[in-house]
Amino acid sequence: MKLYYAPGSCALAAHIALEEAAADYTAERIDLKAGQQTSADYLAVNPKGRVPALVTERGILTETPAILAFIAQNYPSARLAPLDDPFAFAQAQSVNSYICSTLHVAHAHRHRGARWASDEASFADMRRKVPENMAACFGMIERTMLRGPWVMGDDYTICDPYLFTVARWMESDGVRPSDFPAIEAHMKRMSERPAVRKVLAFYPA
């Protein structure tokens, strides 16, 4: 398999999951600042022009929740999801869907305002709202989704690298990690995992 990634992107979550699963994969960096995501070569991989994209023997997968679920299901011995419990697996998918559809979108308003408006004044207003919206998202996760040392409780799952990935955006989005002690502790636990330390070498701060 091949993972297309970019530093600072949510591809980090899939990258960590592949490493946790001991998957046989390679990683290819896409230079977002240089616009490589809009090149003909990359658009042939992912017409959405975004990362991550995971090339598998059956085709190409995009969207982080889908890629994470695929990794968990393709490597069941890694125990990255409660695959034998449909309800618990749906709960994990619910967390990852919230991160993807709500938190990540709130984050994108800081520097992707052109997706939603064309007036520069609107972009500025979106940026001003980002700290409040991101804090609300992390508050929701802290209060209702983070069940224990890991997102799903005692068991490490595909939710954990995804939360870790977006939590790394806190300070740049004007959110104080110390306001969310459970998430801050989760980030520390994640940073101590060997797979995470290995993958972070691909994602300079």
pLDDT in tens, 60-102: 999 999 999 999 999 999 999 999 999 999 999 999 999 999 9
- Alpha-carbon torsion, ordered 131, 136, 137, 140, to 10 deg: 160
The mean of the pLDDT values for the chain is 97
Sheet (strand 26-29) strand order: 26-29, 2-5, 53-56, 59-62
| Entry field: residues in the chain | 205
Structure tokens belonging to residue 2: 């091949």
All domains in the chain, ordered by first residue: 2-78 (3.40.30.10), 86-193 (1.20.1050.10)
H helix or E strand, kind and range, residue 55: strand 53-56
pLDDT at 121: 86
Exposed e or buried b for every residue in 130-155, given b needs 16+ CB within 10 A? bbebbbebbeebbeebbeeebbbeeb
**Residue 205 buriedness (CB in 10 A; 0-12 / 13-18 / 19+):** exposed
pLDDT in tens, 169-201: 999 999 999 999 999 999 999 999 999 999 999
Identify the band that residue 106 occupies on the pLDDT scale cut at 50, 70 and 90.
very high
For strand 59-62 and strand 2-5, is the pairing parallel, antiparallel, or unpaired? Answer: unpaired
Say whether pLDDT at 46 is over 90.
yes
Say whether pLDDT at 134 is over 90.
yes
Say whether pLDDT at 162 is over 70.
yes
pLDDT at 205: 67
Predicted TM-score (pTM) of the model is: 0.96
pLDDT in tens, 2-18: 999 999 999 999 999 99
Backbone CA torsion sign across 62, 65, 70, 72:
positive
